[in-house]
Chains A and B, each alone.
Chain A
Amino acid sequence: MTNTLHRFGTTESFRDDIVIFARTSRGKNDKDCVPKLKRFLEMALMYNPVNLGDSAHGGALRPKELTPSAHWSRNLELDFRAVIDGIDTPTNAVVVLNNLEAAEKFLKEVKEADLGLCVNMSTSLENAMACSCAAGQPRHSLSYSLGFEGETEKLPNTQVLMLTTMCGHSMVSASLAKKMVDWVKEGRRTPEQAAKYLTHFCSCGVYNPSRAQRILEDAKKHTE
């Protein structure tokens, strides 16, 4: 599905939000694809990703079995190695970057590696065009987001919508995102901690904790 396409925000708000994913087509390039998908993610490590994911197993922050001590000391570090090692089937391998320059270089490296995987980028049109030019790779196909219509009065406010739509499967609930905005405003959690709580709910690793942190920092000062 179009799980990264309909993120809410302006072009400017996507300056730190570039999702690049590799996948296969059944019967065409899915045979023996697991090592290639792993290599795709391995290549991304040197570009400081803010999340990695695999739609079959999850992202770099996953729910865990915990003990009550977690409420005082909890490891909220992103575990990229678990994502890479966990790929065992044809899947969407996802890299989330927060830096255009890194995305340009990464795409160039992916092109040179010639893995034969279908590589897509979900971001602003400007960012994708810049990467296309930098890598010398013309765009093949596009899927434009035309935004949301219908009973849009049922949608939450701008900042909550920006936080929730980063999970296109809607696994990040508006109630939780609103609660995190409130907690950050009240000083009960830092924007970084709140962003990581939200990231846990994304089941395919496309959530961008870096952009979420920035949105929560903005929300601390004003509500849109």
Chain B
Amino acid sequence: MGAIYVDPVINRATVERDECVECYSCYNGMSKEHLNPTVVRLLRRLFKMARLRFDPEPDVCPTSALTPDELTWPRVIRRAFSDPLVPHESTGVRGRGTEEVKTNDLTGRVKRGEVNFTIELGRPGVGVRMYDIQKMTMALAKIGVAFEKNNPITTLMPDPGTGALQPEVLNEKILSAIIEVLVKIDRLEEILGVVREVEKQVKTVVAIATGVRCDENGEENDVAPIVQRLGFKLVRAKTNFGLGRITNPEAIKAGAGAGAGHD
């Protein structure tokens, strides 16, 4: 985000609060030394006077200068969508999305003939304002798609039918958020068309993924030919190998989802 800079007036590293997405990468990712700040500053000044520069480890904060703020609503959603170590209250899942196809072998969430879109705004590393996310959700709602109920973005919609988000969160900036919709494959082109149209109106990047169910031989020839025809290069994928098995005694007893993923 580039939210941390040295303020020349006070001569201290400062966090630009409006740009900071509360990802806590600076706080969680840096090793710490807990040195005396006065001594560290004095040494730096002496080195500077002699035109010398200490070559420290780049991932160490010598004085443990960064301390987390107490976050309140609506700023607290910045952290919920940016710090992967904090589970969303809505989903209980760490990160910004849901289990999507990662557990499809047990949940049967995506069936043959369906495609699960994960449209992630702000990724990689650019960040996004909630009002830009709302542009995408409202455009998708307009064409009548249903948003994944367990997705954190959906929980911010008072009425998922409109795609509008809670007004007080709209100016918040986050690292990224995933909009998740499940449709029949025959709507794939229509959805991608809408996404590409909205992309022109938002001031960020968009990472798109499509989740699909393979056939009994592990082949997938429904979605790949369409997206390739639309100009997307298929290089990388996440592959679920179908090794999951229901093992919770209650789930076995209830027959909950038995064989759900093995259609």
A residues with CB within 8 A of B: 1-11, 14, 23-33, 55-56, 63-68, 70-71, 74, 107, 110-111, 114-125, 128, 132, 135, 137-152, 154-156, 161, 164-165, 168-171, 173-176, 179-180, 183, 188, 197, 200-201, 203-204
Given A65-B31, A118-B103, A170-B124, A125 contacting B235 (CB threshold 8 A): yes
For A168, what are the chain B residues with a Cβ–Cβ distance below 8 Å? Answer: 123-124
Q: Is there contact, CB below 8 Å, between A116 and B202?
A: no
**Roughly how many angstroms separate A56 CA and B84 CA in the complex, as a whole number?**
9
B229 at the binding interface (Cβ < 8 Å): no
Q: Give 30 CB contacts A-B under 8 Å.
A: A1-B95, A1-B97, A5-B238, A24-B103, A28-B107, A28-B244, A63-B59, A64-B31, A65-B31, A66-B60, A68-B62, A70-B33, A107-B241, A116-B244, A116-B245, A119-B243, A121-B241, A128-B239, A139-B239, A140-B218, A142-B214, A142-B239, A145-B207, A152-B205, A154-B205, A155-B124, A169-B23, A170-B23, A171-B28, A201-B59
Q: Is there contact, CB below 8 Å, between A140 and B213?
A: yes
**Roughly how many angstroms separate A71 CA and B54 CA in the complex, as a whole number?**
10
Q: Is there contact, CB below 8 Å, between A154 and B103?
A: no
**Roughly how many angstroms separate A4 CA and B123 CA in the complex, as a whole number?**
12
Nearest Cβ on chain B to A21's Cβ, whole angstroms: 8
For A10, what are the chain B residues with a Cβ–Cβ distance below 8 Å? Answer: 235
Q: Is there contact, CB below 8 Å, between B251 and A27?
A: yes
Residue in A141, A147, A170 whose Cβ sees the most chain B Cβ within 10 Å: A141
B residues with CB within 8 A of A: 1-2, 23, 25, 28-35, 55-60, 62, 84-85, 92-97, 99-107, 110, 116, 118, 120-121, 123-126, 175-176, 178, 195-196, 199, 202-214, 216-220, 223-224, 227, 232-251, 256-257, 261
| Complex partner residue of A151 from B62, B203, B208, CB under 8 angstroms | B203
| Complex partner residue of A120 from B175, B208, B209, B240, CB under 8 angstroms | B240
Nearest Cβ on chain B to A108's Cβ, whole angstroms: 11
**Roughly how many angstroms separate A174 CA and B56 CA in the complex, as a whole number?**
19
Nearest Cβ on chain A to B100's Cβ, whole angstroms: 7
Nearest Cβ on chain A to B223's Cβ, whole angstroms: 7
